[in-house]
Amino acid sequence: MIAKPKTPRFRVGIDIGGTFTDLCVLDEEAGDFFHLKVPSTPKDLTRGVMESVEAFLGEDRSPDDATFLFHATTAATNALLEQKGVDTWLVITEGFTGVYETPELGEILVGSYDYLSYPKPPLLVPQRKTIQIPERVDFRGHVVRPLDEAEARRRLSVLRDSGVEAVAVCLLFSFMNPEHERRIREMIRAVAPNADIYLSSETLPQIREYPRLATTVANAYVGPVVTRYIHRLEQALASRGLSRPLYIMQSNGGSLTSGALSKIPVQMIESGPAAGVLAAAHFGRLTGRERVISFDMGGTTAKAGIIEGGSPRIVPRFQAGPWLLSTPSLDIVEIGSGGGSIARIDKSGMLKVGPESAGAEPGPACYPGGGSAPTVTDADLALGWLDPDYFLGGKIRLDRSAAERAIAANVAEPLGLDVIAAASGIVKIVNSQMVEALRLVTVARGEDPREYVMVAFGGAGPVHAAAIAEELKIPMVIVPPLPGVTSAMGLLVSDLKRDYVQTRFADLEVVTAREVQALFETMEAEARDELGKEGIAQERIHYERSLDLRYSIQKYELGVPVGGGAVKETDKAGWRRHFDELHEQHYGSRAADQKVEIVNYRLTARVVLPKPRVPELPLSGEDPRGALKGRRRAYFDGWLDCPVYERERLQCGNRLAGPAIIEQVDSTIVMQPGHSARVDSYGNVIVEVMGERR
């Protein structure tokens, strides 16, 4: 009898953070999760990934059992924020060097109007590495000055033997007519055949010179770094028998293969944070809640995102450090407040926390071989919130004495405080910083946080979430079953996704339905071709269309979804009504007497992947004493005796009263006095935040 072939069943997600690399694997048959955390390896990120993979395969599992491989990486983020990209040159239209050096006021000022003293984003390409090309295309795409090929070759010859690794080409109005950029690419290849070349007409074929240029330059700057990293990782995975395509999370909340991402590596800047927001949306849907605030506090940073109607909010551009990048992203605010954030006294004698982080190397003072600077994790340990013998399930033993010595020397003694008061001050400051981050994605967007629930995760998120939620009057905090690896879990619920944009100006009343349909069909053909090269059948691709519209007197636009299928002339009136409604919703007014213009056509190509099944737990009683593992003193503006529970032994229906501490391998939940919690049928701990403490 011939044995039936074994069906692959493991969906693998790997997320690299600043301190730890997380692995989460779903057994699609049993519905069980395998998860672990290993220290990140900044000098070679692939090493941490492979250590986590080896730990999984070491349990007598076969590489052939993997159905999907998903990855979120900090490779692009680190290269940009640490300014460790490659030697990059810039090619622009003659006479327009000032576009990069003097960005538009509105493109760089966030919460400030002091243009003269505002620190402008650092130039990733200096003036001496900028090449001006004699050519000119107008805003309609008409050539008004033909490309002078002889002079262009002469000027580009400087690239020969220059050691250039990447070239960004951004000519004026190339999004309307890319022929000059394409011809220049051929010329660059002739003199610098080993350089990677990124055209603005492919990276961001969209109006506005500075955002297009800055995004293309950032793309070129990080591109080779990301490409080399992914190539090394794919080789390492293949050597271990994991030869399935590697899907990489993008800032827009969708995954793509490395081949499809090769032209747009800048889309990976918010890779890990985006995966966390997807996970928060997934747990919100599981628990029947569509308005969710995602709160992810890891070792290096804290991230906050917003979910409405069960789906993460998308923005057309986002801030990455000092750089504003015009690529679609989930609406995420990120600050340098994590478990590894360093506490210090500044020159004015004030206590500051972050954004500097101890990271994975050397790590907090309490870590084995940790640094000498006190961190948030050291403060959490000193306050009794963390068990020094059960960090990562006991894999790492924390040194409370080392934490207290670091706090005493660097914070308590300079301020004239005792160690516990100093530790409490560190926590209160970092919490206030995270409260402000959450206000940025809610109050600053016109949303009331009291109408949302918070999904808290990351290794440090559940430690601080309840206190932060109380400050913002968020009524409920949901802590998923595996909070320390929730971003990695978010990879397992992602779809494949690619965004396209094309600027084409038109008066909405004048443009014909046939013209609109033709351009969308051209974009869809490009998507089919690009995704088809990655082995994705065209019948699996779903398309989502939208138009960026504005009143003729405006400079910026709003996106309006336009549906699929054949465009009809009668559709335009509906688009106009929708735009007027959106404008009134956003700005409090509408201009019915003004014409409406089409500025950009947008297309999202999506391949829906099957979502993992999460089995429900049987209902047990309310009494949690079966999970009680002991008691210890913890500090909540005073020392209190707290029960300590083992999360793995909590049952569906169990109810707990704060103050209490719930421990698990990958995180710790700290329940504040006056709060209560219950365990739902999916294993989530639902913390009810009841306002003022008793």
Instruction: Dump pLDDT digits (tens) for 87-98.
Output: 999 999 999 988
Q: What is the mean pLDDT of the chain?
A: 89
Compute the average pLDDT of residues 405-418: 95
Determine, yes or no, domain membership for 682.
yes
SS3 state at 239: helix
DSSP state of 410: I
Spatial strand order in the sheet of 166-170: 130-133, 88-93, 166-170, 196-199
- Please report where in the chains the tokens 């003022």 appear, as a residue: 692
Q: How far is CA 388 from CA 40, 383, 411, in A?
A: 21, 11, 21
Determine, yes or no, domain membership for 616.
no
Q: What percent of the chain has pLDDT over 90?
A: 62
Q: Which helix (H) or strand (E) holds 296?
A: strand 292-297
What pLDDT score was predicted for residue 57? 84
Asked whether residue 173 falls in the same domain as residue 294, the answer is no
Asked whether residue 118 falls in the same domain as residue 133, the answer is yes
Cα gap 694→678, rounded to integer Å = 19
Closest among 393, 263, 251, 369 to 314, alpha carbons compared? 251
CATH assignment of the domain containing 470: 3.30.420.40
- Beta-bridged to residue 21, according to DSSP, are 16, 38
Could you tell me the residue range of the domain that residue 505 belongs to? 497-607
Determine, yes or no, domain membership for 331.
yes
Cα gap 546→549, rounded to integer Å = 9
Asked whether residue 327 falls in the same domain as residue 447, the answer is yes
Can you give the length of the chain in residues? 694
b/e per residue 269-279 (b: at least 16 CB within 10 A): bbbbbbbbbbb
Tokens of 484: 């320390």
Determine, yes or no, domain membership for 53.
yes
Q: Is 361 in contact with 300 (CB distance < 8 Å)?
A: no
Q: Which helix (H) or strand (E) holds 203?
A: helix 200-203
Q: How far is CA 618 from CA 203, 290, 650, 680, in A?
A: 50, 25, 12, 10
Compute the average pLDDT of residues 487-496: 90
Q: Is the pLDDT of residue 44 over 90?
A: no
What pLDDT score was predicted for residue 434? 92
Q: Is the pLDDT of residue 253 over 50?
A: yes
Asked whether residue 99 falls in the same domain as residue 233, the answer is no
Asked whether residue 279 falls in the same domain as residue 191, the answer is no
Asked whether residue 179 falls in the same domain as residue 202, the answer is yes
What pLDDT score was predicted for residue 690? 62
Compute the average pLDDT of residues 673-691: 91
Q: Is the pLDDT of residue 252 over 60?
A: yes
Predicted TM-score (pTM) of this structure: 0.88
Phi, psi of 621 (to 5 degrees): -85, 175
The residue from 410, 430, 450 where one domain ends is 430
Q: What is the dihedral of CA 289, 294, 295, 296, to 10 degrees?
A: 120
Q: Is 385 in contact with 463 (CB distance < 8 Å)?
A: yes
Q: Give pLDDT tens digits for 276-329.
A: 999 999 999 989 999 999 999 988 788 899 999 889 998 888 888 788 899 999
pLDDT band at 114, cuts 50/70/90? low
- β-pairing verdict for 196-199 and 130-133: unpaired
The residue from 392, 412, 430 where one domain ends is 430
pLDDT band at 7, cuts 50/70/90? low
Asked whether residue 444 falls in the same domain as residue 315, the answer is yes
Cα gap 534→208, rounded to integer Å = 31
Compute the average pLDDT of residues 498-516: 94
Asked whether residue 200 falls in the same domain as residue 281, the answer is no
What pLDDT score was predicted for residue 693? 40
Greater model confidence, 18 or 68 = 68
Determine, yes or no, domain membership for 630.
no
Phi-psi label, residue 253: left if phi above 0, alpha if psi -120 to 50, beta otherwise:
left
Phi, psi of 136 (to 5 degrees): -165, 130
Compute the average pLDDT of residues 472-488: 93
Greater model confidence, 366 or 243 = 366
Determine, yes or no, domain membership for 652.
yes
Determine, yes or no, domain membership for 138.
yes
- β-pairing verdict for 496-507 and 558-561: unpaired
pLDDT band at 190, cuts 50/70/90? very high
Domain total of the chain: 6
What pLDDT score was predicted for residue 262? 82
Greatest CA span in the chain, whole angstroms? 83
SS3 state at 187: helix
Q: Is the pLDDT of residue 107 over 80?
A: no
pLDDT band at 558, cuts 50/70/90? very high
First to last CA, the chain: 70
Asked whether residue 546 falls in the same domain as residue 567, the answer is yes
Determine, yes or no, domain membership for 501.
yes
Top-ranked range on mean pLDDT: pick from 191-200, 243-252, 356-365, 436-445: 191-200
Q: Is the pLDDT of residue 17 over 90?
A: no
What pLDDT score was predicted for residue 4? 38
Q: How many CA atoms does the CB half-sphere of 98 hold within 13 Å?
A: 3
Q: Is the pLDDT of residue 569 over 80?
A: yes
Asked whether residue 207 falls in the same domain as residue 351, the answer is no
Asked whether residue 113 falls in the same domain as residue 177, the answer is yes
Q: How many CA atoms does the CB half-sphere of 410 hold within 13 Å?
A: 25
The residue from 207, 239, 267 where one domain ends is 267
Compute the average pLDDT of residues 7-32: 81
Closest among 351, 95, 318, 90 to 198, alpha carbons compared? 90
Q: Give pLDDT tens digits for 416-462.
A: 999 999 999 999 999 999 999 899 888 887 889 999 999 999 889 99
Q: Is the pLDDT of residue 674 over 80?
A: yes
What pLDDT score was predicted for residue 213? 95
Asked whether residue 551 falls in the same domain as residue 592, the answer is yes
Phi, psi of 387 (to 5 degrees): -90, 115
Greater model confidence, 613 or 501 = 501
pLDDT band at 1, cuts 50/70/90? very low
What pLDDT score was predicted for residue 692? 41
User: What is the identity of the amino acid at 671?
Assistant: M
What pLDDT score was predicted for residue 116? 58
